[in-house]
Structure 1
Amino acid sequence: MRRVWVRELAGWSGALGLALIAAAQVASSARSELLFRDGDSLIVGMFARSVLSGEPMDWAMSSVLFLPESTVFAALDAIFPLDVNALLAVNAVINVIALYGALRLVAGRRTEGRAPVAWALVGLAAFCVIAVTELSASRDALELASLQLTTTYYSASVVAVVLSVGLVRRMLDRESMSVGLSAALGVTAAVSTLSNPLFAAWATVPITVLLALLAIRSQRRFRLTLLLAVLLTGTALGFVGRIPLQAWIANTGAGYAQPERWAESLGYYSELVSARLSTPPGVLGCLIVLALLVLAVVRTARASDEGSRLVAALAWLMPVLVVIGAIALGTHAARYLQPLVFAPVLALVAVPRVVRVPLRVRSVLATVVAVLLAIGGILSIPRLAAAAEGGDPDLTCVTDWVNASGRTGAGQFWTVRLPKLHLDDPAQLVQVDHELRGYAWLANRHDFDVGEVTFLVEDAQTVPWNLPVPGIPDEVIDCGRYRILDLGDTVLPLGPQRN
């Protein structure tokens, strides 16, 4: 028993080392834009801090509610006296460690001839290598593994999908049904669907397809049918749970489905693949994914038990179904394709056999790897901290001026969200469109109760203003990439809300 705990602790320690290395590398690249500054990436921090402040809340969210992500961020914010960027960095590390926990569950129990801890670490390492090959600042690039380090781009859904695969696999490996595991599967499906309906497309559909196919040939048809019922019931309850929250869901996501544009969607994703293959790191990342897909197919054909076959088959079926579905629905968003990078990793934990080498060699190898991961993790801490603490004098200029003004101003979505999150009182900046209408998108609609503003913040992303009344600034404050148009005594009324 003691050796089991030592082995498991070593696995979690290795996962921490990998998480620190990956987070430090991504945060030190142009991809840090998505971690710390991107307008979309900041919603979880904004929402969590709004909850902790106790201010009135009437949020306009997208189809994704970010409930697990916001819970984690709020807990970190309540526990640690860190600034926003440091919290985002810590959250990135936690997201990667959480993925390891899910992979460890998928790898199954430790039995004779199996090394689930080692293979879960190998799977996480493969995922992290893919993540560090992603170097662009674009949220639209086909660089999907690094999105797991953000608080916004469905990190909790990725963990939940892998966790669901693990729960199903654990129940297939058991001789009898487990009420606890069944309940965990149902709760995971319900909470994940409630927060993000994409869970149904990423997990419920492919797992349902495989369970149904296995049930046709299996002698354990009742168990497979019961698993199927639990998964479908949990997913259905998640959709039902969204009904009372409709007031907060500004966009159900139905408008994103445009099947008539499937050809445009195919061309769009083809261009993303071409762009990904245009750099050596991109080629390396794609080759890793391709190798894992081939391994998944091979292990599906050679699997000796239902649990291994299910995991190996999901490793290639999830990406296939998601890509086909995304094109058939005419979508144009790379983030929907995340199963392309995390699902193939399941091939490594489908059959976690012990590598047949002498015990002494295996022990030495394990020790060397543990030491290297520990050293890499320790050396990555100051690098990650430096990336999080990197000075942004332009941002500081804006926040200092707004904090000192004691007044309320406005800015457009891509411009205002970063300064707004870093303010002492985020309500001092209101999110508007170019006509000064309240832009109720990923924002607290109570911000618009102020009714008027006396200054505007703009940058290169700001659409030229079309103001309801003439707004000639008394002073223009130059803050590098930002400009603050101080209107002095001139008051600009906010227009009606839109999203």
Structure 2
Amino acid sequence: MTRVRVRELAGWLTALAIALIVTGQVAASARSELLFRDGDSLVVALFAQSWLAGDPSNWAMSSVLFLPETAVFAGLDAVLPFDVNGVLAANAVVNLLSLYGALRFAAGRRRDDRAPVAWALIAMAVFGALAMTETSSSRDALELASLLLTTTYYSATVIGVVLTIGVIRRFVVHEHHGAGQLIALALIAAVSTLSNPLFAVWATVPLTAVLGALALRSTARSRMLLPLVVLIGGTALGFIGRIPFAAWIANTGAGYAQPERWAESIGYYAGLLADRLSTPLGLAGTLLTAALLVVAIVRSARSRDPSERLVALAAWVIPVLVVLGAVALGTHAARYLQPLSFAPVLALVAAPRAFAIPRPRPLIAIGMVVLLAASALSIPRLASAVHTPDAALTCVTDWVDASGRTGAGQFWTVRLPKLHLADPSQLVQVDHRVNGYAWLVNRTDFDVGAVSFLIEDAQTVAWQLPLDAMPDDIIECGRYRIVDFGSAPLPLGQPHS
């Protein structure tokens, strides 16, 4: 095995150790709510399990189809002997490893004066440090790096953006050939856009600005404009590819744009930033992000290498334009600002120059021992988070499994028990009037026509039931209650999204 291959393998093993440490820390914090239990976070697991079971599919998705995310989860679920939480944890590790691979690709090819593996590992470690500063259970917090560990919050889009930058970088420095890079660029853009239109906002629009600016200052304009044309073309193909999935897309996302609410958007995001700065870890994470943006700006101004300048510009132009765009469109969702977490770390791989370490072997050996020890300690920590007992959830799933009947619950209440049932179709997602709620769920669930019990918890909106609807029994299950209407089932109303 050549030294280059040994170095690359060592990079992947080190990245695995970092991924285990980061996942263990996030899973041990209140952020585990998003990994394992949040209603939004479970759509990919529900989708993948339905697909693996061969159920008829008539899904009501958001504007995001989660196609790469579902393929990864389904693959892990098919080969790993884990329960659902174990697969979700393994998926988090895979997402982080995928980010390392994308960063390594964006760092460019190895040369005598370059150390792309080392700088990709540094960039991943910094991203992991950002994720470990995020400890709230809120999906709306300005804690963006840890969202990559979930199966739902656009992990494939994050990886797609970083890979896109890497492909363009390699095309720019490839003087004689580049057809392979252009094909890869078109495929990444098409698949990413097909699955999630946010790719156009996070990558196509900002990189159009970056490549356009570089073309104006370059003597080899075709090296900048050709990938720009391919990127735009691939994005357009992705949008066309969404047409056959129109029946699955319950919300195109157009309604999220409310430009007249830009002032409210500023206030909303400013409030999230204030909350982030109110804790020591949040302050540290924010300062680290700010430092990375400064490094990116300085490198983009000083670098004379067009490929280095490309990556450095992307590291700060993407988050700046995304934030400005989110405000201009009047959005109110922290997850749209994820480029603030992953794009700035590209500054660390923009110019991955080799650096000398005094007495490298002892220092590297010590560092590897510490890293391996920390990752080994993270495995039982992660296992503990995965297998934390949930007596209330077990009470509900055992009762429903044993009943052999079909019940219902509202979105934020029903999705966790639904995921953990032997037959998820035994729980139907409804609104407070017991109308089918077709959102991030398989519409075939509504074919049952009526339900014989309701599940509720503190998040459940007060039911509006027929006056003659009287429960036979109420079963207390910790934070849940099962309201049993076995003798007089409740008909499902007209489904809506």
TM bucket (normalised to shorter chain) is over 0.9
User: What's 1:137 paired with?
Assistant: 137
Question: Would the aligned equivalents of 1:134 and 1:282 in 2 still touch at CA under 8 Å?
Answer: yes
Residue from 434, 447, 451 that aligns with 2:432 = 434
Deviation at 1:259, TM superposition (A): 0.2
User: What's 1:207 paired with?
Assistant: 207
Deviation at 1:229, TM superposition (A): 1.2
User: What's 2:388 paired with?
Assistant: 390
Deviation at 1:471, TM superposition (A): 2.1
Q: Distance in 2 between matches of 1:212 and 1:22?
A: 37
Residues 33-432 of structure 1 aligned to structure 2 (within 5 Å) = 33-358=33-358, 361-432=359-430
Q: Distance in 1 between matches of 2:355 and 2:257?
A: 46
SS of residue paired to 1:467: coil
SS of residue paired to 2:463: coil
Question: Would the aligned equivalents of 1:35 and 1:41 in 2 still touch at CA under 8 Å?
Answer: yes
User: What's 1:11 paired with?
Assistant: 11
Question: Would the aligned equivalents of 1:435 and 1:468 in 2 still touch at CA under 8 Å?
Answer: no
RMSD between aligned residues: 0.9
The one-letter code matched in structure 2 to 1:353 is: R
The one-letter code matched in structure 1 to 2:372 is: A
TM-score by length of 2: 0.99
Q: Distance in 2 between matches of 1:174 and 1:371?
A: 39
Q: Distance in 2 between matches of 1:362 and 1:107?
A: 22
SS of residue paired to 1:110: coil
Q: Distance in 1 between matches of 2:383 and 2:130?
A: 22
SS of residue paired to 1:496: strand
Deviation at 1:487, TM superposition (A): 1.2
Q: Distance in 2 between matches of 1:170 and 1:384?
A: 37
Instruction: From the superposition, tell whether residues 203 and 71 of structure 1 become closer, same or farther in structure 2 (CA, over 3 Å).
Output: same
Q: Distance in 2 between matches of 1:25 and 1:492?
A: 44
Q: Distance in 2 between matches of 1:469 and 1:297?
A: 65
The one-letter code matched in structure 1 to 2:120 is: A
Check if 1:498 corresponds to 2:493.
no
User: What's 2:448 paired with?
Assistant: 450
User: What's 2:479 paired with?
Assistant: 481
Q: Distance in 1 between matches of 2:153 and 2:467?
A: 38
Deviation at 1:467, TM superposition (A): 1.4
Deviation at 1:302, TM superposition (A): 1.3
Deviation at 1:226, TM superposition (A): 1.3
Using the aligned pairs only, state the percent identity. Answer: 65
User: What's 2:461 paired with?
Assistant: 463
Q: Distance in 1 between matches of 2:466 and 2:437?
A: 15
The one-letter code matched in structure 1 to 2:482 is: I
Deviation at 1:469, TM superposition (A): 5.4
Aligned residues: 497
Q: Distance in 1 between matches of 2:109 and 2:489?
A: 66
Q: Distance in 2 between matches of 1:380 and 1:49?
A: 27
Q: Distance in 2 between matches of 1:357 and 1:488?
A: 72
Question: Would the aligned equivalents of 1:108 and 1:166 in 2 still touch at CA under 8 Å?
Answer: yes
SS of residue paired to 1:350: coil
Q: Distance in 1 between matches of 2:8 and 2:366?
A: 17
Q: Distance in 2 between matches of 1:50 and 1:237?
A: 28
Question: Would the aligned equivalents of 1:469 and 1:492 in 2 still touch at CA under 8 Å?
Answer: no
| Alignment gaps of 5+ in structure 2 | none
Deviation at 1:489, TM superposition (A): 1.0
> Deviations along 1:25-51, whole A, 9 cap, x unmatched?
000000000000000000000000010
The one-letter code matched in structure 2 to 1:206 is: P
Deviation at 1:468, TM superposition (A): 3.8
Q: Distance in 2 between matches of 1:400 and 1:185?
A: 48
Q: Distance in 2 between matches of 1:262 and 1:152?
A: 26
Q: Distance in 1 between matches of 2:315 and 2:339?
A: 9
